[in-house]
Structure 1
Amino acid sequence: MATFDKKKKDFDLVVVLEAFQRCRQSDDTLVLREYLTAFTELCRFFKLTGTLFGFVAMDLEDKIRILNEHLTADEIHYTSVQSMIQHEVDHDLTKVKKGNLKSGSRTLLRLHRALEFILAFMSRLRIGDENEKSSVIASEVYNETLSRFHPWVVQKMAGLAMYMLPSKKDLIDVMCKQDYESVMCTLGEVVTSGQPLYDITQKLYEGKDLLDLP
């Protein structure tokens, strides 16, 4: 069984919720910095679920690093998801590097795909039976979402990682410094706040014909 310390509380689901809520502005502009804050916290969750899920966290952290560097170097054009995509489309940067950095649009697309999996997993985790295995939930959601973007080798690694997930009860225990019912409520709020971010981003990429960036 993968190493799992259910007493460790480095992850806080409320941090994700609040970042999601701040990310979406009244005009549906998505603040890139808040998007990255949410994903930084989600990386802690993947690390807590077991050593075999470390490869997921490492991949997310690499994408977060690239986007943070873009944001630091050019806060005007990279302040929001919309401004970043428009800037890179206007300057033909969606498929090439900007200096030493990979395209921000391409990088965010990888996080966007991961968000689909995360939101679907949290939704299923919330409505599922308390005794349902988190490994089964994760496997079914992965096959419906992220797997289509992964080569065979990565699919096998992901399958093994999900098989080694702790029980649903232990998984919920690290999701918040709250009781079970409070965590279930917060999960619902995270999904409710996160789904519009996914939908807005999906529409942006569709409109710019960027959903298949290599």
Structure 2
Amino acid sequence: MRTRRCVVTAVTLSLLLFLSSLWLPQETVQSCEQSWRPCLSVFTPNREVVRAAVTDDALGGSDIIRECAGQQFQVSRLLLHLSSALGPASDVLLEPYLLCWEELIKFMESLGPLVGFFTHKVEEKITLIRQLALEESTTGDAQRVAPPPHRSHAYRSVRSMLEAELQRGVVSFDSQTPSGSRTLLRLHRSLLWLQLLLEKLATEREERSMGELCRDAYLEVLAPHHPWLVQRAAELVFHAMPDRKVFLQLVCVRTQKEAEPVIHVIVAAIQEIHRRTQTELEIRNMLDLP
């Protein structure tokens, strides 16, 4: 009996690890002026955008976003990164976009150890894009040289990355490749999953559990891209989700009513990032990269 339980546990953990490899749910900001470092991380935090969203009278005033002492995830920091990712001409700057994901990783990890299985793969994808950016900015084995001033860094934004990788032929429409474009697509899908989860947390009746809401969002966004085995393994995670009160604590409110305007601000910011990324992927026919 004991051996059987061990086998079942091992199989369960294997399924979760397998799921984490397919489910697509800090570095210091660097300057392009440093000769060998990637231009990816150059952006100007748009605090005015965050302040405007937070102080919108329709959202109930300027006190709805609070710093939550003693916890890693902070809504205010997530909103700052989201607003900073809004580049010119409806583009998305990559480094603040990746910083958004680092904050969202803290959010997911706060939902319990099983959900934490997914964060490892998200971290891998963040690292891959940053590594591509670093390789772009370096030449030779040991000597690191900045690109010419007139040359735009390929991994500075979503648009520049997608266009550069298409031109270089590193994006495959038939097989899996470790391109930044394919990696971004997986993160993009998971961002929509989180967006839908937050929307459901704001609109669904309080009797519905966090696990049920996660399942609904998963079935709508991610399940169509996953095989049957992965979908079944996802159920294990949904059953282990914490109570919705945990979410209230994460956004530093006490009641569902207090949480709704906070969620509204977060969702609005995520929607804009998702919309811009969706457009860039769609016009290049990259929404179904294998």
Alignment TM class, shorter chain as reference = 0.7 to 0.9
Q: 2:193 aligns with which of 117, 135, 141?
A: 117
Larger Rg: 1 or 2? 2
Report the Cα offset of residue 54 of structure 1. 2.0
Q: Write the mapping of 1:29-68 to structure 2, written as runs, cut at 5 A.
A: 29-68=91-130
Give me the whole-angstrom Cα distance separating, in 2, the residues matched to 1:133 and 1:142. 14
1:84 paired to 2:161: yes
Equivalents in 2 of 1:122, 1:160: separation in Å? Answer: 20
Q: Secondary structure at the match of 1:51?
A: coil
> Aligned residues, how many?
203
**Partner Cα distance (2:190, 2:287) in 1:** 13
Query: Which segments of 5 or more consecutive residues in structure 2 lack a partner in the other structure?
Result: 1-68, 138-152
In structure 1, the residue matched to 2:79 is 17
1:148 aligns to 2:218 (yes or no): no
Quote the sequence identity (%). Answer: 28
Shift of 1:161: 0.5
Q: Aligned AA for 1:83?
A: S
Check the 8 A contact 2:171/2:182 in 1, yes or no: yes
Report the secondary structure of 2:90's partner residue: coil
1:187 matched to 2:187 = no
Contact 1:130–1:169 (CA under 8 A) maintained in structure 2: no
Give the structure 2 partner of residue 3 of structure 1.
none
Give the drift of 1:182: 5.1
Alpha-carbon RMSD across the aligned residues, in angstroms, is: 2.0
Which residue identity does 1:91 align to in structure 2? R
Looking at structure 2, the residues matched to 136 and 179 of structure 1 have their Cα atoms a distance apart, in angstroms, of 21
Q: Which residue is equivalent to 2:207?
A: 131
Contact 2:248 2:254 in 1 (8 A): no
Q: Greater RCO between the two (CA within 8 Å, min separation 6)?
A: 1
Q: Distance in 1 between matches of 2:196 and 2:133?
A: 28
Corresponding residue of 1:4: none
On the 8 A contact 1:131/1:168 being kept in 2, the answer is no
CA displacement 1:39-66 (0-9 Å, x = unmatched)? 0111111112111112211121111111
More helix by share: 1
Which residue identity is paired with 2:239?
Answer: Y
CA distance in 2, matches of 1:40, 1:122: 17
> Given the alignment of the two structures, is residue 28 of structure 1 paired with residue 90 of structure 2, yes or no?
yes
C-alpha separation in 2, matches of 1:71 and 1:173: 36
Secondary structure of 2:106 counterpart: helix
1:140-178 deviations in whole A, cap 9, x for unaligned?
11101111111222212222111211111122212x345
Quote the offset at 1:14 in angstroms: 2.1
- Supply the distance in 2 between the matched residues of 1:150 and 1:189 (Cα, whole angstroms): 30
Distance across 2 between alignment mates of 1:183 and 1:23? 24
Q: What's the offset of the Cα at 1:17?
A: 1.5
Work out whether 1:199 is the aligned partner of 2:275: yes
**In structure 2, do the counterparts of structure 1 residues 185 and 72 end up closer, same or farther at CA, with 3 Å as the change threshold?**
farther
Which secondary structure does the structure 1 equivalent of 2:123 belong to?
Answer: helix
